[in-house]
Structure 1
């Protein structure tokens, strides 16, 4: 059996999306908050159902069957409004209109018509559920339908009754406007929070890429030195070593040619990494620092107003270039973090070697009482560079706050270059 396209579209409209069937407050962090809409709706149903039946039977003199049927149809769907407010509105609104028509045959003198007090209360509760879930366009349509039905019924108002069609129209509009404003504000705050999360992730990724590019530039300077030595030695080998046959000479020429080609590729890569987007190729040309320049770094930091102490374990062995540079950069970044987040804090820098590893420890105490941090809250991006440099050398990094309010940075870098894993930049 084939279904016509129009029928398929109608069925699609009747089948709500998954988002529309989720209960109110389903994203609340606590369980009692997620269950609160059901509790509130259940309380209103338990209170309004007997009161509605009693009012219809005693005050409006309706038959017990009509009073019970209208009472159930006007109140019980409030439970459905927690998950599907639109279908609940269709049921309640239809029952309210039907109840107004049935009341024409009851006792209405001196009583509210077409909407009884219990109908108004239940309808306003339903408006809250609609306002917290539906779009502004849907809310306006529902409000206009409510007003049109009120005006149409008002034309048949029985004598002696107290008209309530204007009251329901005004109150429902106020409730819809308030609930819709709350929903709009909540959605705006959620979008802002999502955007902040995305922006924070983008900043962290950008910091990571910038630090990796910086490491690549510095690694070029380290490797280029060794490649230059290889080139010079390979070119001069035939002149320094007598008795080389043609095969050996050709091998040295091949080594020198490969080394020069690698240097050229590295220089072209360096030009890209050091470019600032303006077409200039000016970059840092100074030799890369190492552990031997930590004393100068500490003295400069002390002159900036930060009390720093440096401890070196006597004569350090010859360090691999990557380890030497990484140790300096880790200390440099750690001291910069102390200046930013704990100005005036007493800081200790310790560099020791045990023959297999180089250990770098930077510990600072809490910020001085008379000063305030230059940055109220840290993003942790300063630690990204430390982690990348430790990964480059195959070492380990331990960072974290101390019980006294200070902070500790400890890096352990292997002195054997062959033990470091090959990690792509």
Structure 2
């Protein structure tokens, strides 16, 4: 800015014009100095520039300027940074001041039109700058909000995944350990009274342990990112209703008589729904073995047009066995699994007070390509 204001003072003037003085140069500089504060006080700087320009015009005979550079910058800054009422007021004031300024100079219509054009252009460029900056801020805000939303979603997804893994680990380990403990405790007595039954119990312990290890390996294989390891140990699907007969056989080996039946027309279930059905039955039978002191349990899968109803009942400690006795992580996990599918879970004594029952309903969504047929 100062360089532009200095140029008329270093260019040789016509012989009939008076020489440029240091006083005129100082007043010219005075019109540019307030621009240092134009961003913090644009309106005040505008009036300071106008006052310095008027002082220059009426007090000294300087060389003049081809363009009112400080005034244009001041108008641009007010248009870009000031609120609507202030910038519109400054625009109107500038329009009014152009007329006496031109009249005291050449008074030509050409100068008047040119002055109105350049000051109008300065105002328009200021508004365009403000609009562009507002747009950039909006884009940055949206990007920041999107980043925060993505981070929150990722954290929530990680929390859901941790909860899912915790449920899977609990179901696998709790079921396997419970069966193994029951069979191991009955083993010494069976060795003395029924050796062939003891042999079956120890086989059951071995089979239960191997199955638990296989399921844990599958789960850990899903969690690993080592491509080479995944290549050596291909992932297997999670168990579904088709695996329930084998589960029932393992529980029978522990001494509990389990009856498994289906009602309605068994049909393919999406993978997640099928796995949830398996885990619900697994957890229910684990609780019967650990808490019910029962001799018979019934597992029933009822297929309806849009619903799967899972019922597990036993002839154990009925009304004396409150839900609080077994409301550990297992049944909490059952409720969480059912809720995740939009279903329900209900536990309590049987209507005839002769045992305990768990009833879970799971909506059956549209069959996917990877669905498993329930047995």
Q: TM-score range by the shorter chain?
A: 0.3 to 0.5
The alignment's TM-score, normalised by the length of structure 1, stands at 0.40
Q: Which has the higher contact order (CA 8 A, sep 6+)?
A: 2
